[in-house]
Amino acid sequence: MLLLLGTNSFSPKPTNAIFTVEFDEKSHEFGALKKIEGDFGNPGWMTFSADGSLIVADESAPGRILTLKASTFEPLSAAVGVSDHPCHVVAHGKLVISTSYTGGTVNITNSVTGSTLLIDHSSMYADSWSSQQSSSSSSSSTIYQDRQESSHPHQTVVIEGETKTFLLVSDLGASTISTYDITALLLSSSAIATTPAPTLTPISTLMPSTGPTSGCRHSLNILEDVYTVNELNDTITHSKISLATGELTEVSTANLLAEDLITRAHHGGAGGICSNDDDNLVYVTVRHTSPGGVVAFKRDQSSGGLERVSVAESGGDVPRFIGNVGGGNIFICNQGSGGKVVKVGQDGVSLDVGEMVTWVGQRR
């Protein structure tokens, strides 16, 4: 299989680089690493559209969404400008949906017309912190100044309901997960109106029971189960979504590790989340340990409950991303260690990239 690797310098000087590498599924060996250079900015997250085009989030300021031919990396259309530092992108139908970390917005672009709807998450942040700031000074509700000074939507997940399509947004700054109904945007044959700007009101907003310093980072959806990793206190929240209405209900929030790490001084904990092909194992990366870690949970197929079954090293430092690329192949992208991609479950199967690698996927 041919793997694509996204990179991010996390500095004003972009990497302008996407890497490709062949991975032999029988021998579990990587081939030669190839570097493709172009006007990619910081291609920190990528996905594929229904037609096989490669959609790239350029996590720069200002941010851009690029549509490239997956085989040649040539642009298929003009870049779409979005709010600063888009750190995640997903394509669904005609919609390309990105989250702008610094811009504090969710950007929904109609790929046919190029028109974009911005969902401003600043009110979500204000609602989360207003009462906490005025009524409590306890450590459990003290803002992480470098991570929660504003709204930071970090990721979206599209969830197909019974008759509607929902968008779930994880916001690290506000410590919330929220759902929106995007059915009408998918069905509309016209451009997304921008004058006057349409608004999408959250159907449901959930803050983990561990409070506003949880830092909701990434979520995984399996049927009616939603699992959210909370970066700032190393917890995982299990919630249920109604596939009829989009309402969210928390089931539990538990520590990722056996130790209670909620009061640690520095951020950079829980990173990515994915499941195996059978959805009976859920993996979460933990970034603040050195080397980094990956925690495996056994998932109860009936209740959706999680039981921690193992904690292992990630094979490098700062494991930012973990992804299932198909065929039972799960890879970790270690942002530190010079950028190292490691295959889960295969000791010693790793690849040094030489850049801060932040995403891996199989080319379609």
Kindly indicate the confidence band of residue 69, based on its pLDDT and cuts at 50, 70 and 90.
Answer: very high
102 or 259: which leads in pLDDT: 102
Across 110-126, average pLDDT:
77
pLDDT digits (tens, 9 = 90+) for 241-299: 999 999 999 999 999 886 544 444 344 588 999 999 999 999 999 987 667 889 999 99
> pLDDT value at position 187?
80
Least confident of 134-143, 189-198, 225-234, 252-261: 134-143
- Distinct helix (H) and strand (E) counts, the chain: 2, 29
> pLDDT value at position 245?
97
Least confident of 201-205, 209-213, 238-242: 209-213
* Residue 19, amino acid: F
> pLDDT value at position 121?
79
> pLDDT value at position 139?
42
> pLDDT value at position 116?
78
Which of 130, 123, 121, 177 minimizes the C-alpha distance to 152?
121
Across 308-314, average pLDDT:
91
Least confident of 61-75, 104-118, 187-201, 209-223: 187-201
Cα separation, 27 vs 264, in Å, equals: 41
What 3-state class would DSSP assign to 176? strand
Across 129-153, average pLDDT:
60
Ramachandran bin of 258, using left for φ above 0, alpha for ψ from -120 to 50, beta for the remaining angles: alpha
> pLDDT value at position 303?
96
Whether the pLDDT of residue 196 is over 60: the answer is no
Asked if residue 291 lies in contact with residue 314, where contact means CB atoms within 8 angstroms, the answer is: yes
Whether the pLDDT of residue 195 is over 50: the answer is no
Any bridge partners for residue 66, and if so which? 56
B/e letters for 11-44, b = 16+ CB within 10 Å, e = fewer, are eeebbbbbbbbebeeeeeebeebeebeeebbbbb
Across 147-176, average pLDDT:
92
Any bridge partners for residue 85, and if so which? none
Sheet containing 153-160: give its strands across.
153-160, 165-171, 176-181, 204-206
Highest mean predicted confidence (pLDDT) among 15-24, 127-136, 314-323 = 15-24
Least confident of 23-37, 43-57, 113-127: 113-127
Structure tokens at 230: 């909370």
Whether the pLDDT of residue 302 is over 90: the answer is yes
Domains by residue range for the chain, with CATH: 83-265 (2.130.10.10)
Whether the pLDDT of residue 151 is over 90: the answer is no
B/e letters for 280-302, b = 16+ CB within 10 Å, e = fewer, are ebbbbbbbbbebbbbbbbebeee
What 3-state class would DSSP assign to 214? coil
Percent of the chain with pLDDT over 90: 62
Report the mean per-residue pLDDT for the chain. 87
Q: Based on the number of CB atoms within 10 Å of its own CB, is 135 exposed (0-12), middle (13-18) or buried (19 or more)?
A: exposed
pLDDT digits (tens, 9 = 90+) for 323-348: 999 888 999 999 887 789 999 988 78
Kindly indicate the confidence band of residue 177, based on its pLDDT and cuts at 50, 70 and 90.
Answer: very high
130 or 256: which leads in pLDDT: 256
> pLDDT value at position 130?
58
Asked if residue 189 lies in contact with residue 142, where contact means CB atoms within 8 angstroms, the answer is: no
Structure tokens at 62: 């200002």
pLDDT digits (tens, 9 = 90+) for 39-66: 999 999 999 998 999 999 999 999 999 9
> pLDDT value at position 197?
46
Beta-sheet strands, E only, within 101-215:
105-110, 116-120, 153-160, 165-171, 176-181, 204-206
